[in-house]
Every structure is written in C-alpha cells, then in structure tokens.
Structure 1
Amino acid sequence: MFIGRVKCLLVAAFSVLALSFSTSVLAQEGHATHGQTEHVEKLDAAKVIMEHIMDNHEYHFADLNGHAISIPLPVILYSPQRGMDAFMSSKLEHGHTIYNGYKLEEGKIVPVNANGTIDQGVKVYDFSLTRFVVQLFLSALILIIIMTNVAKTYQKRGNKAPTGFQNGIEPVITFIRDEVGKPNLGHKYQKYMPYLLTVFFFILINNLLGLIPGSANVTGNISFTMVLAFISMVVILLSTNSHFWGHIFWPPGVPFLVKLILIPVEFAGVFIKPMALMIRLFANMVAGHIVIICFISLIFIFGAMNTVAGVGFSPVSLAFTVFIYLIEILVAFIQAFIFANLTAVFIGQAFETGHDKAHPHDPHPTHNRDEKEFAL
C-alpha cells in the first residue's frame, strides 16, 4: 500500500514538472508570433537548469498562456542614497517592469535610472526573503516541530515502547548514536550527539524538501554548505587539545627535513577537512538536480528538432528521470549521514591522541579513522 502511494506521488510530481516545461515552451511559441511567420523559440536548457538551481525572488512553477504561475516573495532593500524600500517581487514582473527605481536582472535586483539603465552611483543592500531563505526557515521550523514533539512524547511515555511517529524517528537517532557517535567519539559521544543529530536531520530535511518540484535546492547552494562546514570547523577546533596541535606543528618520529614539508600540509588539513564537507554536500546535491532537469529538457530538445522524436523520446526520458529521482531520495539520506559521520571523524581526530592515552581500554577506539575517512 505504501509503495503504491509513493509511486503515485512520483508520477504526479513528474507530471507537474513535465507540465511546467511544456507550458513554458508553449508560452514561448505564443510570444514568437508578431503578425509575421510563426517562429518557435528553442528551449534554452542551460538557462532552465541555472534558473532551477539558483536562488530567486519567487517560487516559479510554470508559464501558462504568457502568465507565470508563481508565489512572489517579499523584497527588502536598503540603499544609503534611496533609503529603505519593501515590496513584493511580483511588482517587478520577472524583470519586465521597473518599480520604485529597481529592476530584476538575471535574478538580482539592481537600481536603475529613469531611462532603464543601471545606476552605478547607487549602492543597494538586498535583505530580501528569497526562496532559499524562506525554505531555510521552513526546514528549521519543521526540524523544531519534529524534535519538540518527539521530546514531549518521551516525557509523557517514559520508558514505554515508542509508537507512531516516535517509532520512526527513534531508529534513526539510535543509528546515528551507534554508528556515528560511539565509534568515532568514544566515551565523549554524548557531548556531541545534539550537534550531530541536528546536522543530520537539518541536512536531511533540506535534501528532501529540495526534491519537491518547484521548491528550492538549499543544500545545492554553496553558501549554505559553507556555513555548515564553518560551524563544524568551529566545533572541531574547540575539541582540540595540546596533543593535536603538537602533532601538527612538530610531528613525532619524523626526520627534520620531512617535518619542514609535513607541517604546512598538516596545518592546511585543518581547513581542508571542512572544505571537503562543504564541497562534497554541495556537489552531490546540485549534480542530481542538474541530471533530472537534463533528462526532462531532452524531451523538448528532441521535440524542437522533430515532433515525432520528441513524443517518442518522452517515455524514455521520464523513465530515466524517475529512476534518477529515486536515487536522489537515497542520496538525500546518504549525504546527510556522510556529513554527520565525517564531522564526527574530524572531531574524534581532534582529541584522538589524548583520548587514547587517557583511556587505553576504551570499548570504542578512535584509531583507524583515516581509513574510514578515506573509504567515505
């Protein structure tokens, strides 16, 4: 029953996605006729892909008969020369209209003169609630609601067996504790579990929300992953001890000439590890969305060459799209796990030497982390 509902949901989702592309193409065809020979404008797949993965001032779903089906978002601007200004993004009409001296160009709001040219003498600070920002707040709200309800259920039920939604969340929490926290952090795992669980669920929720047609792929934004990586780096650095820095600035048991080479490499590794977290999550999440849009775009690319080819290729394109979409659901969980796990690995490395000396018989040893990091 559940699998059947999921299949129906996937079919509906991709029907909406395909419809949004088709209506966009039809709208382009309608605007191509101006009392002259009908000219069909070809689909610009690169533009469509970039519009999908980049930030925007609205949630855009489709174009129908020349009218955009979208949800406008608030625009909040401050200019030292013009002061504060706030309005809805629909006032700009997707860049076709100038409103209060501002115009939308390539996804950015710029100040313009009366003749429509960019006013270079005006500085603008954009504090708008773009779709990335709105969805970020939405995912944070969902995370707070889920975890608050689970915590309240635990308080009411105590040690009783979990039921309902709590029964679905508890295995995930115990999995992160037993497979991420304990193996990598040893006896200190409880100290870091709140952060690891928050990172895992926050990334997972954003990954899954980004798979909804028309939504924003927040984890496919390098700024978002950079902030997460920076927070992880702060946690890692706060977990270091004298043994950690001693091994970086004066590696023991290494010839002096080798130390001169190894010390800069080890110090650079302090910053490279968080960068690896940032790039890994960003690249994996944005790549899947690009592949999905590419498969959908192939229908209209073939259709522009020949109508029969476009119709004939549609089932093949949709089949591959659904297949990649299912893989992306799996990737959403995997990438959340990998980010949390590598964060735990790097934190464990920060106090590894001192931990092993103080607790040589710890049941959860923290050695062999380099091999686990390499495997992931």
Structure 2
Amino acid sequence: MKRLFVLLFSFLTISAFAEAPVEGGKFNAGEMITHHIADDYNWHFADGATVYLPVILIDNGTVNTFSSHHFYDENHETVPYNGYVIEHGHIYRANAEGEPVADQSGLYDLSITKNVASMFISVLLLFGIFFTIAGRYKKNPGKAPSGIQSFFEPIIIFVRDDIAKANIGPKYERYMPFLLTVFFFIWFNNLLGLMPGGANLTGNIAVTLVLASLTLLITVFSGNKNYWKHIFATPGVPGWLAPIMIPVELIGILTKPFSLMVRLFANITAGHIIILSLFSLIFIFQSVAVGPLSVAFATFMNFLELFVALLQAYIFTLLSAMYFGGAVEEHHHEEEHAHGEAHH
C-alpha cells in the first residue's frame, strides 16, 4: 500500500511538472525529462512547491552568497542577477545584457545544488540509521537484534560473508568500512531518486566518477608485489611482448573503474528516463486509451527500478571487492606452500 501511494504521488508530481508546458504551449517531453534528471540550483517538487538552494560563488577571492531564487522570475524562467547568469545548468559571469562573458577565470561555484542537497540528506540518513544500530550493539551485546537492527544485520552479514570474504580473503576486514559505505550509499540514493521529486544523484556521472576513483585508488595502493609483477612481467608471456602487454595491463587498471562509473550512471539514468517517458505519453497523446497503459507500464518499471536500485549497489560493491582481492592475492606464496607439501 505504501508503495502504491508513492507511485500515485509520483504520477501527481509529474503531472504538476507537465501542466505548465501543456497550458503554455505544446508539451515538450525532452525538456521535462532533462529537467528531472539534471542537477539544478533549486529543488522543484510541484507547482508552488520549490525549494531555492543557496548559491555560493568565489569570484577572484571574493565570496558571494545568495538564494538561487534571484535567478528565476515568476514564470520560473532564468534571469541575470548581480552580474551572474545561469546557462545550461551552470553559473557564469554576465555582461549588462545578461549574456555570459568570455573570461570566466577565477570564478568557482560551490553552490548547494539539488544533487548536493540530496547527498547531504542521504548522508544524514545513513549516519542516523547506523549510529543507532551501532548503539544497540553496544547496549545489548550478544543479544538477538530487534527493530531496525534486525532488518539491516542480515544485509551487513551478506556484504561481509558473500562479498568481502568470498572475494578478498583473509584480509577482508580492512576493506569492510569502504564496502559497507559504498553499498548503502548507492542503495539509499538509488531509492531516494525514485521518490517524488527525488534527485538523480547516482545518475550523475560526476558522483559515479568519484566512487569509481575511490575504488581505483584503494586497489592501486593495496597492490602487493605479485599484483604489480603481473602488470609489468605477466607470467607465461615472452619478454619481447612486454612493450605491448605492459600498456595493455595499465589500461586495464583504468578500464575497470571506468566500467563501474558508466554502469551505475547509465543504468540509473536510463531507468529514470524510461519511467518519465512512459508518463510523458499521457500528455503527448492525451488519450483515454493511452493513459492507463502508460500508468501500468510506468508502475511496472517503478517496481523493477526498486530491484535495480539494490542490484546496482550489489554489483558496484561486488566488483570493487573483486578488484581489491586481485590486488592482495598471494599467488606465489600459495604455489610455494603447495609445492613444499608435495615435496614432503
């Protein structure tokens, strides 16, 4: 029932977004979809329900702060303010006519955008939940979990046993904080993005780039001598092939986190686009026959996205653990140990 309410509310929210273009002219599905999946300087939930976020600009050492409300008129069209203008989702210095000037050097945008605000909300949510769980473990050591603790404990054990232990081995404990953090961060933000008016945080390639870069850095700095030997002196490969194999192996180090970045970004963004496209059909055709079909397919996709939200968190965490496991694996030590036992 709760999920059906969320779906109904999602439909009403999207209808509110689409209402203005229909009244003012031809409905533009592409513009509506882009508006929903892109980052912005305000958080628009429905007509009359907009949160204007703080703008923070550092312009040649001078800090300028003001509400993003000044950038929008009564029709929610962007207008210049205080020598700045929003163009294509970014703030630029503007001339007297409100057009971006050529020289933008020394201008740094540290504004709290919709994605940043959503990330803060998810972080506070994660802190609240897991500090509560940790407190209950300290308060009731050895006792059966209850409440929220009983819900999350099997998931934490699953990440520990079936992802970390299975793919990293005996050294798994040092990677558990990162693996648990990235799993729940991605999962929570995927779910928050499906809520009415939710931000498309994990569908932002800058966010997935940071997550993938963290996996890359941990993998590289965890690499033991056998890991690097495999890169620069691949076993079983003739020496004359080294000039070819070394660049290939080095490129392989970068392509792994690149695939993590693109996979998460593409799957989450694609899900949002499909759902919004299905809803858009209602306003494009304006037909009683199309409306129920669009809602039915969009409802199915919304349920499917609940599974995808968990699946993408699992895949990102699993592949990260596999990369860590490959970096710390002791191939030669195991081979020598087995050879010694056979000799005795």
User: Is the Cα contact below 8 Å between 2:186 and 2:202 reproduced in 1?
Assistant: yes
Describe the SS at the equivalent of 2:144.
coil
Unpaired runs of 5+ residues, structure 2, are: 339-344
Letter in 2 for 1:205: F
The number of residues matched between the two structures is 334
Q: 1:60 aligns with which of 44, 68, 80?
A: 44
Q: Judging changes above 3 Å, is the alpha-carbon distance between structure 1 residues 121 and 193 closer, same or farther for their aligned structure 2 residues? A: closer
Q: Counterpart in 1 of 2:306?
A: 329
Q: Counterpart in 1 of 2:291?
A: 314
Q: Judging changes above 3 Å, is the alpha-carbon distance between structure 1 residues 117 and 252 closer, same or farther for their aligned structure 2 residues? A: closer
Q: Counterpart in 1 of 2:341?
A: none
Does 2:58 match 1:78? yes
Residues 181-200 of structure 1 aligned to structure 2 (within 5 Å): 181-200=164-183
Q: 2:257 aligns with which of 256, 274, 283?
A: 274
Describe the superposition over 1:78-121 as per-residue Cα deviations: whole angstroms up to 9, x where unpaired: 2229x332111111114443221222223222222223333334
Distance 1:235 1:359 in 2: 27
Q: CA deviation at 1:354?
A: 4.2
Describe the superposition over 1:103-156 as per-residue Cα deviations: whole angstroms up to 9, x where unpaired: 222322222222333333454321110011111111111111111110000001
Letter in 2 for 1:220: G
Unpaired runs of 5+ residues, structure 1, are: 29-40, 304-309, 362-376
Does 2:276 match 1:290? no
What percent of counterpart residues are identical? 43
Does 2:231 match 1:254? no
Q: 2:148 aligns with which of 157, 160, 165?
A: 165
Residues 160-239 of structure 1 aligned to structure 2 (within 5 Å): 160-239=143-222
Residues 100-139 of structure 1 aligned to structure 2 (within 5 Å): 100-121=82-103, 123=105, 124-139=107-122
User: Is the Cα contact below 8 Å between 2:6 and 2:195 reproduced in 1?
Assistant: no
Q: CA deviation at 1:16?
A: 2.5
Q: CA deviation at 1:292?
A: 0.8
Q: Judging changes above 3 Å, is the alpha-carbon distance between structure 1 residues 122 and 260 closer, same or farther for their aligned structure 2 residues? A: closer
Q: Judging changes above 3 Å, is the alpha-carbon distance between structure 1 residues 43 and 130 closer, same or farther for their aligned structure 2 residues? A: same
Distance 1:356 1:323 in 2: 51
Q: Counterpart in 1 of 2:20?
A: 24
Does 2:2 match 1:9? no
Distance 1:268 1:253 in 2: 20
Q: Judging changes above 3 Å, is the alpha-carbon distance between structure 1 residues 259 and 342 closer, same or farther for their aligned structure 2 residues? A: same
Q: CA deviation at 1:257?
A: 4.2
Does 2:321 match 1:350? no
Describe the superposition over 1:157-208 as per-residue Cα deviations: whole angstroms up to 9, x where unpaired: 1111100000000010011111101110111112211111111011111111
Runs of 4+ in 1 over 6 A off after TM superposition: 358-361
Letter in 1 for 2:188: I
Q: Judging changes above 3 Å, is the alpha-carbon distance between structure 1 residues 302 and 360 closer, same or farther for their aligned structure 2 residues? A: farther
Distance 1:241 1:358 in 2: 16
Distance 1:118 1:182 in 2: 53
Q: CA deviation at 1:70?
A: 1.1
Q: 1:243 aligns with which of 226, 239, 244?
A: 226
User: Is the Cα contact below 8 Å between 2:119 and 2:189 reproduced in 1?
Assistant: yes
Distance 2:218 2:33 in 1: 35
Does 2:136 match 1:153? yes
User: TM-score when scaled to structure 1?
Assistant: 0.84
